[in-house]
Structure 1
Amino acid sequence: MYFKSLLSVVEVKQSDRDLKIAIDLCSEINAQLSVMILAVASLPPIGDYPIGTADVWVQERQWDLAALDARVEDVEMLVKDADISATVIDEYPELARVGHSVGRRGRYVDATIIGPDLFANEMLKAKVIDGGLFESGRPILLIPHGTKPTLRPKRVLLAWDSGVECTRATREALDFMACAEQVHVTMIDPDTSSVANGPEPGADIAAYLAHHGVKIIVDRLPSGNDAIANVIKGHATDISADLIVMGGYGHTRLRERIFGGVTRSMIDKPGFPVLMAR
């Protein structure tokens, strides 16, 4: 079964580009679209601020809420004209609560979309990815500028390292991979020890995928002292991949997410649509 519901997170002042991408993806797989329109609330003035500062803060909030209401109306008309099933909601959290808001909404869809305009928003990008990846229990779909996303991919690169996160991503993308023409199970410098992959790295996951009707090619690649993320992206180019599937690695430290090296590199400059799960 393909995804049946997708969440598109858009900043209140963004263009419609991310929304149109999300609409096209939902139309492609007959999924419902949830749109979360996001504005960031300023912290209330505390302490020795000039007289009148609180009044300015209240006025700014009124402007922000009015902008949210107007944007909700515009988006509701947009999705209505697109003739898809959709819901539109607005959120007005402070910056520190953005990830939590996205994660909470993301629990009730199959995946959260990070479109190119939001991807270019340095203030919100990390917060939205953090919430979608760590707090929703669902995968995220990263769509950087200049890529052509599809949820009916012909060629998929599965970045495999035998980890739990990668296993989760594989399960989330299983239906897409079963319908693809080729799925390249890609391993970089695979460990052949008995506690890792065994003498034939990739054989176990290939057998699992084959049971689900996936057409598999196992690619074991040397890094050649290059960064693993670069090898993955280079191989994706070589095989003309439509989608990269991978696990997202990280942990919490003082309530900030610290991403692993490969995850960070793929988030910063993916170059391809990436379905990432944790």
Structure 2
Amino acid sequence: MAFRTILAVTGPHEGDGDLKPAADLCNEIGAHLAVLVVAVAAPPPVGEYAAVVSEAWLDERRAVEDLLKKRTADLSAFLAGSVLSADVSSEYPEAGWADDTIGRRARYADITVIGPELLANETLKSKAIEGALFSSGKPLLLIPAGAQPTLKPKRVLIAWDARLEASRAVRESLGLLPGADEVHLVMVDPVEDEYRHGAEPGADAAAYLARHGVNVTVDRLPKLDHSVVDVLRRHALDIAADLMVMGAYGHSRLRERIFGGVTVSMLEDPSMPILMAR
């Protein structure tokens, strides 16, 4: 699928560090840049009979609304002076439905981009990630600090576990993969069975990709005494991958938050650009 609209999520207190990589991606592939400025509203303090008791909260809310308007206007003026096709909008949702608000906006883009500044904002980061993954039906691209993202990658690592989420991530990245010099379909300790990987782990997925013109190599790696995340990261370095593709939340969000998981570990510390889908 071709990416024609890229959504960049930012906050009213963030700088332009997240917009530059998103704009560069749009310029790289000729896409439209949609910018969403989001502030998460603090819940109102309430007293007896749910009466609002804090004038300070009302003042804070007005101040944030003014900041959102200014940030939106500044970004609109900045982008109006560029050759890039772009639009800017803002939202000020309550915390309880901020992820749904972001997800609804992401439905009208082909991919959501979250850059290094937003990744450092824990509250807005979690809302943007969950909104993109669970409420949009579209993929998500994480760009950590120091990374040079591209939507024309030359070496791609696909984290393959034969789950539905991994299949969806592969499908969402099909527009990028045929142009890559190398695509590594990576499995960590795959089990040969009829329910997931089949008699020859990776063979079916590799054949599917090859029919789409992808130059694919199957890598089966042992975990040994390392975590799956560490194995994937090390292999990405070994092959000099410029993009990782993976499914997100093969288990429930609650289970991953309590017991940990590959998705949570990657989200906490993405070491390279990662395209996720669910």
Report the TM-score when normalising by structure 1: 0.94
Check if 1:228 corresponds to 2:212.
no
Contact 2:33–2:85, Cα closer than 8 Å, also in 1: yes
> Quick one: distance in 2 between partners of 1:57 and 1:83?
41
SS at match of 2:112: strand
Contact 2:178–2:215, Cα closer than 8 Å, also in 1: yes
CA separation of 1:253/1:234 partners in 2, compared to 1, >3 Å: closer, same or farther? closer
Query: Any stretches of 5+ residues in structure 2 without a counterpart?
Result: none
SS at match of 1:17: coil
Alignment match, 1:109: 109
Greater shift, 105-114 or 191-200, is seen at: 191-200
Greater shift, 38-47 or 218-227, is seen at: 38-47
Alignment match, 1:216: 216
Residue correspondence of structure 1 range 198-217 to structure 2 within 5 A = 198-217=198-217
> Quick one: distance in 1 between partners of 2:52 and 2:244?
52
Contact 1:14–1:117, Cα closer than 8 Å, also in 2: yes
Alignment match, 2:151: 151
Instruction: Please report how far the alpha carbon of residue 221 of structure 1 lies from its aligned counterpart in structure 2 after TM superposition.
Output: 0.5
CA separation of 1:179/1:246 partners in 2, compared to 1, >3 Å: closer, same or farther? same
Alignment match, 1:135: 135
Instruction: Please report how far the alpha carbon of residue 270 of structure 1 lies from its aligned counterpart in structure 2 after TM superposition.
Output: 1.7
Q: Give the superposed CA RMSD.
A: 2.1
SS at match of 1:22: helix
SS at match of 1:156: strand
CA separation of 1:62/1:111 partners in 2, compared to 1, >3 Å: closer, same or farther? same
CA separation of 1:259/1:88 partners in 2, compared to 1, >3 Å: closer, same or farther? farther
SS at match of 2:2: coil
Identity percentage of aligned residues:
49
> Quick one: distance in 1 between partners of 2:143 and 2:61?
31
User: Deviations 1:43-67 (Å, cap 9, x if unpaired)?
Assistant: 222116xx99532222222211111
Alignment match, 1:125: 125
Alignment match, 1:71: 71
> Quick one: distance in 1 between partners of 2:226 and 2:135?
32
CA separation of 1:194/1:269 partners in 2, compared to 1, >3 Å: closer, same or farther? same
Query: Any stretches of 5+ residues in structure 1 without a counterpart?
Result: none
- May I ask how many residue pairs the two structures share in their alignment? 276
Contact 1:6–1:34, Cα closer than 8 Å, also in 2: yes
Report the TM-score when normalising by structure 2: 0.94
> Quick one: distance in 2 between partners of 1:155 and 1:74?
37
CA separation of 1:259/1:123 partners in 2, compared to 1, >3 Å: closer, same or farther? farther
Structure 1 residue ranges (4+ consecutive) displaced by more than 6 angstroms after TM superposition = 256-259
User: Deviations 1:153-176 (Å, cap 9, x if unpaired)?
Assistant: 000000111110000000000110
Alignment match, 1:274: 274
Alignment match, 2:92: 92
CA separation of 1:186/1:84 partners in 2, compared to 1, >3 Å: closer, same or farther? same
